[in-house]
Amino acid sequence: MRSSLFVSRRAVVASVLAATVGLSTSGIAWAADPLKIGLILPLTGPFASTGRQIEAACRLYIARNGDIVAGRKVELIVKDDTGAPETTKRIAQDLIVQQKVNILAGFGLTPLALATASVATEAKVPMVVMAAATSVITTRSPFIVRAGFTLPQVTAPIAEWALKNNVKRVATLVTDFGPGLDAEKTFVKRFTEGGGTIVESIRTPLQNPDFAPFLQRVKDAKPDALFVFVPSGQGTAVMKQFGDRGLAAAGIKLIGTGDVVDDDILDAIGAPALGVVTSFHYSAAHPSPENKAYVDAFMKANNGMRPNFMSIGGYGMHLIYEAEKKTGGSNDGEKLVEAMRSMSWTSPRGPVSIDPATREPVQTV
Ligand code: PHB
């Protein structure tokens, strides 16, 4: 009796509300438009692990924080760009024109983010970059806010570490595109300014790299250490060749940014990962209560998959939720970016804030 009375009362309230705001009573009537987030990621192809991690993190954020924010139902529209820049751009245009998305997010590689920047600017739609990490990206549109990291920010500390740990001669090996060039430039500058010597700088192709001949060159140059940046997904091949070619046995130390030994592939790398020294903004082993809860929930929701640093950029969904709350559920791209650009919060990675001048994350490495 009580429950049927309750249901009919709710129905009356819903229909009055719907009549007031001009909505249909079929299904659930929302007082506000849904919040449509277009999440564009490489979900197939060589960088699919990045897409898988970020999508899982976005879904986990929604599961843990509810799918209604500022009174708006959150609609995540996930699209696979296969890692091809022209596809990313076309999908972004379609999402804006056809689906009327309020926010673009994802961007698994630098070229994908660069190709889409002008779309965000023209449509005045916020573009939350969760993975791509070349420093120049945020300068390409005032609507870009970065949730992940930049290569210069994670590279500088390992150069300092090398200088303090008796590493005098270093070879560098980076992938020949934006983030690799950022990493090489930052490492070489810091290391040589501190008195170190670069014996060789090698750049490997982004697509289908064969690391073996490059690592042979490094071995012949006999450095104290090899500094490596390769994008997430390519670390296993580098680590295997490093062992197989006898560089570790020759006493060459492997150092780098954390991309080369990311948490997702650590088990696949196995023993060769022991002794590698990297600097980074995230580790699944970070012992904060927030991170322990995050790792547990992530693994439970994803068949035991361990979250890596790409996931933590995806968990930057927080920026979108908080910007909606701050603006009272706004659709205005400029207001949303304004709300994001001064935000600070405790992420599973540690304390994070967005630098209002650059729209880049400030975080502990
Ligand atoms: C990038 O394309 O900017 C990128 C991709 C993978 C990484 C880091 C940076 O691990």
Q: What confidence score (pLDDT) does residue 272 get?
A: 87
Residues lower than pLDDT 50 in the chain: 1-27, 29
What is the rounded CA–CA span in Å between residue 56 and residue 299?
Answer: 10
Instruction: Specify the residue with its C-alpha closest to ligand 1, atom 7.
Output: 231
Q: Which two tokens stand for residue 103?
A: 């926010």
- Among 137, 175, 232, name the best residue to mutate to test ligand 1's pocket (greatest count of ligand atoms within 8 A of Cβ): 232
pLDDT, tens only, 272-315: 899 999 999 999 999 999 999 999 999 999 999 999 999 999 99
Nearest CA to ligand 1 atom 8: 231
CATH 3.40.190.10 describes domain 152-279: no
Query: Can you spell out the DSSP letters for 315-360?
Result: TTHHHHHHHHHHTTS---HHHHHHHHTT-EEEETTEEEEE-TTT--
What class does CATH assign to 33-149+289-363?
alpha beta
Pick left, alpha or beta for residue 200 (phi over 0 → left; psi -120 to 50 → alpha; otherwise beta): beta
Q: Which of the listed residues 109, 136, 263 should we mutate to test ligand 1's pocket, taking the one with most ligand atoms within 8 A of CB?
A: 109
- Indicate the angle between helix axes 317-326 and 48-65, nearest 10 degrees: 40
CB contact at 8 A, 77 and 10: no
* DSSP single-letter state for residue 307: P
Report whether 79 contacts 118 (CB < 8 A): no
C-alpha 202: how far from chain center: 25
State in Å: Cα 109 to ligand 1 middle. 5
Rounded to the nearest angstrom, the gap between the alpha carbon of residue 299 and the centroid of all alpha carbons in its chain is: 18
Do residues 354 and 362 touch, judged by C-beta distance below 8 A?
yes
Please tell me the predicted confidence (pLDDT) of residue 308: 98
Instruction: Centre a 10 Å sphere on the Cβ of residue 279 and count the other Cβ atoms it contains.
Output: 18
Return the ligand 1 atom nearest residue 109 CA: 2
- The DSSP annotation for 76-131 comes to EEEEE-TT-HHHHHHHHHHHHHTS--SEEEE--SHHHHHHHHHHHHHHT--EEESS
Task: Answer yes or no: is the C-beta of 109 below 6 A from any ligand 1 atom.
Answer: yes
The whole-model pTM stands at 0.91
Q: Decide whether any atom of ligand 1 lies within 6 Å of the 134 Cβ.
A: yes
Same fold, 33-149+289-363 and 152-279: yes
Question: Can you give the pLDDT at residue 7?
Answer: 38
Contacting residues for 345 by C-beta, under 8 A, at least 6 apart = 318, 322, 351, 352, 353
- Domain residue spans of the chain: 33-149+289-363, 152-279
Report the nearest-CA residue for atom 2 of ligand 1: 109
Query: pLDDT tens digits for 42-69?
Result: 999 999 999 999 999 999 999 999 999 9
